Amino acid sequence: MQTLIQQVLNALQLGSVYALIALGYTMVYGIIRLINFAHGDIFMVSTYVAFFIGTALMSHALRLPGIVAFGLTMAAAMMVTALLAVLIERFAYKPLRQAPRVSAVITALGVGLFLENFTLATIGPDPRFLPRFFSVQTFTVGGVAFSNIQIIIIAVSAAVMLLLDTIVRRTMVGMAMRAVSWDKSTAPLMGVPVDSIISITFAIGASIAAVGGTLFGMVYTVDPYMGIRIGWWAFISAVVGGIGNIRGAMVGGYILGFVEIFTPVILPASTYRDFVAFSMLLLLLIFRPYGILGRPVAQKV
Amino acid sequence: MMDDRSPMTDDVVLSVQDLHVSYGVISALRGISFEVRRGEIVTLIGANGAGKSTTLRAISRLVPIQQGSIIFEGVDLRAVPPHEVTAMGISHVPEGRGIFANLTVQENLKLATWGKKDQREIQQAYERVFSLFPRLAERRHQLAGTLSGGEQQMLAVARALMRGGRLMLLDEPSMGLAPVLVREIFDVLREINAAGTTILLVEQNARQALKLAHRGYVLETGTIALAGTSQELMDNPRVKEAYLGG
């Protein structure tokens, strides 16, 4: 029983990160029907930004309290990554908005490769560690051990997702995002600047990935290729939840977190996890292509 | 001769001159010119594919203009980005209603107040819209996609009212609606016009449109074939034969 709860906590921790990244895939797909295959690598870049800024802020000369350095690092990673995503959209995707959809998808793959290799060439392949913002404290409640880092990851992710959900559902910008997602030609008639809304969507998706990146970097190492596997898993999360559906991406992220943690519990080895995840994707695409929370949409003509 | 219903004013709100629009190699408009004066209801009638919707979409800057000018209250709209046209005072009820089916009725209306700051003005717009269309008030929390066709058209008009332009463009508001609903919508348009909004109405339903409008233009394959007061057009043998069913 204790091990089970322990594993559930691990699954929630990992699932939080998948969910945060999945949101970027789903939001961009929702607004311009593009699978932004560079998003996993945007997440990777965000962890590097967090690494450099975090390291600088935690240098002994500054003597910043860990919580302040953590907050500033995350904020900076969010801003830099948002800017990167907006620039990618502006210069790589926007010129292709009227082109066949496959052109933009191939461009996204190219942007991803560029980010990976640019990072490799400039920073190198060695894995990096984010500085410790907090000393690890382990608590044991009823035989279940968990760390403060785990709680921070789960809580911060949940708070960010709640905030996003509120923005999308309650604010004018959120309404405009939903409206643009439905019908780009009518939105300007309401005064909505469609290009700006698309940029804002990219910025929000990337900054949420940066939250995930900063949290992820507190537990795992950072390297130029980390975005590939995690990107795929987050992408599967988005599809499982129903691509284009924000709450679906959140649910899908947690599901994939559970798949990853519980695969080695049920199957003989953790190496089966990709097999399980991709099988899930295939089955879903066959039997419920609109995902768990998505609704089948009649194609508009 | 002016129609007796026509408001006597020379104040040209919208002036379209020699407008050319083409989609790739297909030219949709081949140099049309017309005017709308303040307080008028002007209709563009014509068959499917004559270029009626394209004309409205060109005014709202949703399609690129090859040649010609569109002057609204003295400003050439060619230099204005699409989302700013409406801020200048043009509201557009698009073809097929263009409601956001994934938003509630209330959200559709609220989104139409994009960029407006004056809360009192917004409140008054809500009150006006809900008194014109009480059914929308009843359904304000419903997803717009669940409304009937007539209600969706009311929402589309209501949204344009929330934008509160001085000129309202309407693209086939009668399309797909039962005659009783068409009358209802057209009554509202008459009311909106009486309250001071100038209207440019595009219709395939020529009879209804000419009954409502002060003046009209007949569009045929991207050019203006005829122009006149509604009465003149209704009496014209060519219009009678081609558009009013003989």
Of A179, A181, A194, nearest to B111 by CB-CB distance is A179
Contact B82 A188 (CB under 8 A): yes
- Residues B149-174, mean pLDDT to the nearest whole number: 96
Contact B62 A185 (CB under 8 A): yes
Q: For position A299, what pLDDT does the model report? A: 43
Task: Return the residue of A nearest to B100 by Cα.
Answer: A179
Mean pLDDT for chain B? 93
Residues of A in contact with B84 (CB under 8 A): 191
pLDDT, averaged per 10 consecutive residues of chain A (301 residues), comes to 88 97 97 96 98 92 88 97 98 94 95 97 96 91 90 97 97 97 96 97 98 96 96 96 94 96 86 90 90 66 34
Question: How is chain B split into domains, by residue range?
Answer: 12-243
Residues of A in contact with B114 (CB under 8 A): 172, 176, 190-192
Q: For position B6, what pLDDT does the model report? A: 53
Rounded to the nearest angstrom, the minimum Cα separation between B244 and chain A is 29
pLDDT in tens, B224-236: 999 999 999 999 9
Instruction: Indicate the helix (H) or strand (E) that contains B168.
Output: strand B167-171
3-class DSSP state for residue A34? Answer: coil
Decide which of B244 and A73 is more confident.
A73
Of B100, B107, B115, nearest to A191 by CB-CB distance is B115
Torsion angles phi and psi, residue A275, rounded to 5: -60, -45
Of A175, A187, A192, nearest to B107 by CB-CB distance is A175
The residue among B53, B57, B95, B114 with the most chain A CBs within 10 A of its CB, best to mutate, is B114
Position B77, amino acid: L
Contact B103 A183 (CB under 8 A): no
Q: Yes or no: say if A259 and A277 are a contact pair by the CB < 8 Å rule.
A: yes
Q: Yes or no: say if A218 and A120 are a contact pair by the CB < 8 Å rule.
A: no
CATH number of B12-243: 3.40.50.300
Q: Which two tokens stand for residue A276?
A: 């399980």
Rounded to the nearest angstrom, the minimum Cα separation between B97 and chain A is 9
The answer to whether residue A291 is domain-embedded is no
Q: For position A269, what pLDDT does the model report? A: 79
Q: For position B48, what pLDDT does the model report? A: 87
Contact A175 B85 (CB under 8 A): no
Give the burial class of B206: count Cβ atoms within 10 A of its Cβ; 0-12 exposed, 13-18 middle, 19 or more buried. Answer: buried
The answer to whether residue A253 is domain-embedded is no
Give the burial class of A208: count Cβ atoms within 10 A of its Cβ; 0-12 exposed, 13-18 middle, 19 or more buried. Answer: buried
| Complete edge-to-edge strand list for the sheet that includes strand B223-229 | B90-93, B167-171, B198-203, B41-46, B215-220, B223-229
Confidence class of residue B152 from pLDDT cuts 50, 70 and 90?
A: very high
Of B61, B101, B112, nearest to A190 by CB-CB distance is B112
Contact A182 B103 (CB under 8 A): yes
Contact B98 A194 (CB under 8 A): no
Length of chain A: 301
Residues of B in contact with A176 (CB under 8 A): 111, 114
Residues of A in contact with B94 (CB under 8 A): 185-186, 189
Mean pLDDT for chain A? 93
Task: Return the residue of B nearest to A183 by Cα.
Answer: B100
Confidence class of residue B9 from pLDDT cuts 50, 70 and 90?
A: low
3-class DSSP state for residue A236? Answer: helix
Interface of A with B in 185-204 (CB under 8 A): 185-194
Do the strands B67-72 and B75-76 form a parallel or antiparallel pair, or are they unpaired?
A: antiparallel
Q: For position A297, what pLDDT does the model report? A: 58
The answer to whether residue A263 is domain-embedded is no
Lowest mean pLDDT among A73-77, B24-28, B34-38, B167-171: B24-28
Interface of B with A in 61-120 (CB under 8 A): 61-62, 81-87, 91-92, 94, 98-103, 107, 110-112, 114-115
The answer to whether residue A288 is domain-embedded is no
Task: Return the residue of A nearest to B168 by Cα.
Answer: A189
* Cβ contacts from A onto B, under 8 A: 68
Instruction: Indicate the helix (H) or strand (E) that contains A2.
Output: helix A2-32
Q: For position B239, what pLDDT does the model report? A: 93
Total of domains in chain A: 1
Rounded to the nearest angstrom, the minimum Cα separation between B32 and chain A is 23
Contact B114 A172 (CB under 8 A): yes
Q: Does A183 touch chain B (CB under 8 A)?
A: yes
Task: Return the residue of B nearest to A182 by Cα.
Answer: B100
CA A194 to CA A172: how far, in whole Å? 13
The answer to whether residue A52 is domain-embedded is yes
Residues of A in contact with B111 (CB under 8 A): 172, 175-176, 179, 190, 192
Q: Yes or no: say if A214 and A73 are a contact pair by the CB < 8 Å rule.
A: yes
